[in-house]
Amino acid sequence: MKKESPKFNYDYIVIGITAIIFLGVFIFSQVNEAGFMSSINRILNFLYENLGWLFNLATLFAIALCAFFLFSKYGRIRIGGKDAKPEFSKFVWWAISLCSGMGMGIVFFPPAEVIEYAFRPATNIVLEAGSYQAIVWGMEQTMMHWSLTLYGVYTLGGLVAAYAFFNLKQPFSVTSTLYPAFDSKVYKFRSWIDGLVNFAVVGGVAGSFGYGILQVSDGLNQVMGLPKDAMAYIMITIVVTLVSTITSVTGLKKGIQWLGDNNAKLFIVLLAFVAIFGPTVFSLNLGVESTGSMIANFFKNMTQTEPLGGSGKWSIWWNWLWYIDFFIFAPITGLFLARLAKGRTLREFVTVNMIAPGLFCIIWTWLFGGLAAHSQLTGILDVNALMLARGTEAVMLALFDLMPFSQITKVFMMIIVLISFITLVNATINTVSKMSIKTTSRDEEEADPPKGIQIFWGVLIGGVSLLFLLAGGLDGAKAVKMLVGVPIVFVEVIAGVGLLNLFIKKRYVEVEELEGGAPLAEAAVTKAAATQAAAEVESL
């Protein structure tokens, strides 16, 4: 007999919070854009000036927690229980993790960042702008952003989500990551917590979507001569939204797996091309020297605050904005990564989701950052002037003009950008759709979300991005997202502390009847799961 598909009920609070806030933000930003941005920026400057040290410590905590499960005996715990079997090969698992974490950002930003940081370093760094020493420092900071900090924060969210969902049999929800800290009483606030996170993540993806439209449009302009205008933005949005939604609707084991697997292979091909035709010896020397400096200065970099730097200081506009952005995506990316991890150990989870993609991004920065640095230092291309004139999105394509087969490689790169773009959006569609439904059984929890809600989120994300972009208010959406991201830092840190406390103090939670309209009625099943999880830990 054909297995009957689960029936779902929607959580309209989660859905409504995102839709209503976005509508309000758009209206207010258009009625009085200057006043709106001024108010938001004042709040952001106040928070960042006073809480920057906390963002540093929160990011450092995420990395430390991942290291704890990588090296401690608890790393042997299997996600889903000792008899759970993996559903994906390690390569596919790593590929999806790599692409869902960095999206298309790594294609455009690392070479531009190396030069940006070298010419405009932090106020407390005494370096001659554009010098070789400044470029080493710029490479060091770029690798920090695209390796341990990025994937460490995402892996923190994934560790808690995977253990709560598969081992403690909790709902597929951001709120469930707080279960180890607060027990079942946290579900009284589930819809509001999930709704807040949902808004921040959809805002984050909408902002990335908007900038992605600009980047793809610029690339198509350079490669094919297509105009950069409203019609181009609309067509790019339609194509990306349509393909992202279709691949999300086909399910985790079909469309999303295919995209992640093949996108990672394309990244490897592009990396090999630059290794063959680029200034590889120079890049490797610069990369090794910068990596050594990064390791030697790791804690110094992670705790940099520039207390006398003022509102224009480097730490605000690079470190803290990046860290907040990572934390905004951490709950949703963590839930997405958790769904891939059944049958793997916690140690494997950290290795595949933090160490392996982090190392790949470091090598990527060596070769592409080295190419940009070599071009700048030898005078082949003034990357800094190019970036100031045409933006970061122009740097990567201009660098390919310095190598053979430039027209072919630029088309190849645009394909990678589009697939990366789509991978980021469809991973988000799939996960926020899961959070938008109320479930009553494990079958519903583990099933793919309904197609209708995935189409809704796909259209909303694409539509909001395009609307803000065409109205000239993309910065407003981004500013509100960054504001909402501050409380998410606290959510993620509390979730991590709760998981750590669960093991260190051996405080194994007894699963109670969930209150406040919580989604699971299977209290006996979840209690048995918690007991089994506790027994597995005790046996280590």
Confidence (pLDDT) at 513: 35
Q: How far is CA 267 from the centre of its chain?
A: 18
Task: In whole angstroms, give the CA distance from residue 363 to residue 19.
Answer: 40
**CATH architecture of the domain covering 9-538:** Up-down Bundle (1.20)
Looking up tokens 């430039």, which residue turns up? 406
Confidence (pLDDT) at 446: 65
Task: In whole angstroms, give the CA distance from residue 361 to residue 143.
Answer: 7
Looking up tokens 């982090």, which residue turns up? 358
Looking up tokens 């072919």, which residue turns up? 408
Residues shown for the chain: 540
Long-range contacts of 253-257 (CB under 8 A, 24+ apart): 253/87, 255/426, 256/96, 256/423, 256/426, 256/427, 256/430, 257/88, 257/92, 257/96
Among 471, 174, 114, CA closest to 333: 174
Confidence (pLDDT) at 523: 45
Instruction: Give the H/E segment covering residue 127.
Output: none
Q: Are 444 and 6 in contact (CB under 8 A)?
A: yes
Task: In whole angstroms, give the CA distance from residue 350 to residue 155.
Answer: 7
Joined together, the tokens standing for residue 25 give 């933000």
Confidence (pLDDT) at 527: 56
Q: Are 171 and 439 in contact (CB under 8 A)?
A: yes
Task: In whole angstroms, give the CA distance from residue 152 to residue 181.
Answer: 20
Joined together, the tokens standing for residue 211 give 């900038």
> What's the chain's Rg over C-alpha atoms?
23
Q: Are 436 and 449 in contact (CB under 8 A)?
A: yes
Confidence (pLDDT) at 438: 76
Domain boundaries, the chain: 9-538
Task: In whole angstroms, give the CA distance from residue 281 to residue 291.
Answer: 15
Q: How many CB atoms lie within 10 A of CB 88?
A: 22
Long-range contacts of 115-122 (CB under 8 A, 24+ apart): 115/372, 115/373, 115/376, 115/383, 115/384, 115/387, 115/395, 116/384, 116/387, 116/392, 117/141, 117/142, 117/318, 118/373, 118/376, 119/384, 120/314, 121/314, 122/304, 122/306, 122/309, 122/313, 122/314, 122/315
Task: In whole angstroms, give the CA distance from residue 516 to residue 535.
Answer: 29
Q: How many CB atoms lie within 10 A of CB 379?
A: 7
Note down pLDDT in tens along the chain; length 540 residues.
444 555 668 888 888 888 887 777 777 767 776 777 777 777 777 887 888 899 999 999 999 999 999 999 899 999 988 888 888 888 888 887 777 666 667 777 899 999 999 999 887 788 899 999 999 999 999 999 998 899 999 999 999 999 998 888 888 888 999 998 988 889 888 888 888 888 877 777 776 777 777 777 877 877 777 777 888 888 888 888 888 888 777 765 565 666 666 778 888 899 999 999 999 999 999 999 999 999 999 999 999 888 876 656 888 878 888 898 889 888 888 888 888 888 999 999 999 999 999 999 999 999 999 999 999 999 999 999 999 988 887 888 889 889 998 888 888 888 887 777 777 777 778 778 888 887 666 666 667 788 888 888 888 888 877 776 776 555 555 666 677 778 889 999 999 999 998 888 765 443 333 333 344 434 444 555 555 665 565 566
Confidence (pLDDT) at 518: 41
Task: In whole angstroms, give the CA distance from residue 275 to residue 268.
Answer: 10
pTM comes to 0.84
Degrees to nearest 5, angle at CA 429 with 426 and 434: 130
> Which amino acid makes up residue 243?
V
Looking up tokens 């002037």, which residue turns up? 385
